[in-house]
Amino acid sequence: MKKTLKEKLEVLKQKGHFLTSSRLMVLDYLLESKSHPTADEIYSALKKKLPSLSKATVYNTLKLFTELGVAREIKVEREKSRFEARTDPHVHFTCVKCKAVFDIEKQIVKFPKSVENHKVMFGDVFLYGICESCQRKGNS
Amino acid sequence: MKKTLKEKLEVLKQKGHFLTSSRLMVLDYLLESKSHPTADEIYSALKKKLPSLSKATVYNTLKLFTELGVAREIKVEREKSRFEARTDPHVHFTCVKCKAVFDIEKQIVKFPKSVENHKVMFGDVFLYGICESCQRKGNS
DNA sequence: ATTAGTGCAAACTATTTGCAATAAG
DNA sequence: CTTATTGCAAATAGTTTGCACTAAT
């Protein structure tokens, strides 16, 4: 279910949404980034290239992408959301020291279709600990 | 690792914290409740019994409990935290319709000690879907 | 030309903080 | 008595919203 830039743009078009430069830039930024950026990080990074960009537009864009399934919102910290362009199911590891979020390729769970009479549609697995880099720094 | 009220109060005492009526009430409320209440829900419920209670105290108390491992903060919605007195590992199921959060007793994952060179300390599994009650209501 | 999208500022929500008053030990 | 805890109000952080302006189609 990994989609390319072109495929994701196709989703926008087909649903009748305009291909604006903010949308292109946010989508491109998400696809390039592995760091699961926050709305504010995306805004700050893109503001340099597109000085007219406003934070509201970043939020609007991320909301649209999330609704269309073009991006995903990750709730590893309560205070702020992080976003990623990957929409295929995968585990996230968050470092409790440096707060970095990593994608884990190894599939460690297979979700059941139902549990205790509730119908399961999707699920998230969040692991927390000390990342490789912080372990090396003795930052534990 | 399921602890009783008395055991949890013991943790407070041993760390030199006062046993105030707000703390007793919040702890008692959490132990009685299966609904994973938000800070505001706890505040509203207890305000009736203890009219002098302030929201800041509820937040202070929940923060202290979380730090001491007496309660747990659950981040199923980004906007607000939910809390529970259970601190043993277990899966949470959230209904996307009614937003109710259920504890799942069945253990569906066993976390590895490390993944891709990161040291795993703990983890969360969140399942989302339609709960039994909403399915019956045809609320899907 | 239309109307969706943008930018700005103001509004909103959940949570935190500073400080004087209060109560647990 | 002493100092942790409380209650209040103000502050903060992230996100949303209303509205006039702009730009994609």
Question: Would you state the pLDDT for residue A4?
Answer: 85
Question: Would you state the pLDDT for residue B77?
Answer: 87
Average of pLDDT values for B14-27?
Answer: 97
Residues B35-83: tens digit of each pLDDT: 999 999 999 999 999 999 999 999 999 999 999 999 999 999 888 999 9
Q: Which of A32-36, B16-20, B106-110, B116-120 has the lowest mean pLDDT?
A: B106-110
Say how far residue B13 (Cα) sits from the centre of its chain.
21
Which helix (H) or strand (E) segment is A114 a member of? strand A114-115
C1' of C11 to CA of A74 (Å): 25
Note the pTM of the prediction, 2 decimals: 0.91
Q: Inform me whether the pLDDT recorded for A74 exceeds 50.
A: yes
Question: Would you state the pLDDT for residue A109?
Answer: 87
A95, A118, A128: residue with CB nearest B132? A118
Q: Inform me whether the pLDDT recorded for A63 exceeds 80.
A: yes
Residues A32-51: tens digit of each pLDDT: 999 999 999 999 999 999 99
Question: Would you state the pLDDT for residue B1?
Answer: 60
For chain B, give the DSSP string.
----HHHHHHHHHHTT----HHHHHHHHHHHH--S--BHHHHHHHHHHH-TT--HHHHHHHHHHHHHHTSSEEE-SSSSS-EEES--S--EEEEETTT--EEEE-S------SEETTEEEEEEEEEEEEE-HHHHHTT--
From A40, A128, A46, select the one nearest A92 (Cα to Cα).
A128
Average of pLDDT values for B104-114?
Answer: 92
Residue B80 beta carbon within 7 A of nucleic strand D: no
Question: Would you state the pLDDT for residue B104?
Answer: 96
Nucleotide nearest to A56 (CA to C1'): C7
Q: Are A94 and A110 a contacting pair, CB within 8 Å?
A: no
Question: Would you state the pLDDT for residue A16?
Answer: 94
Q: Which nucleotides of C are covered by protein (CB under 7 A)?
A: 4-9, 13-18, 23-25
C1' of D4 to CA of B17 (Å): 8
Closest approach of chain B CAs to the CA of A7, in angstroms?
Answer: 27
Stronger pLDDT, A1 or B2, i.e. the higher one: B2
User: CA A19 → CA A9, A51, B14, distances in Å?
Assistant: 8, 18, 61
Closest approach of chain B CAs to the CA of A123, in angstroms?
Answer: 4
Residues A78-105: tens digit of each pLDDT: 899 999 999 999 999 999 988 899 999 9
Separation CA B93–CA B101 (nearest Å): 6
Closest approach of chain A CAs to the CA of B47, in angstroms?
Answer: 25
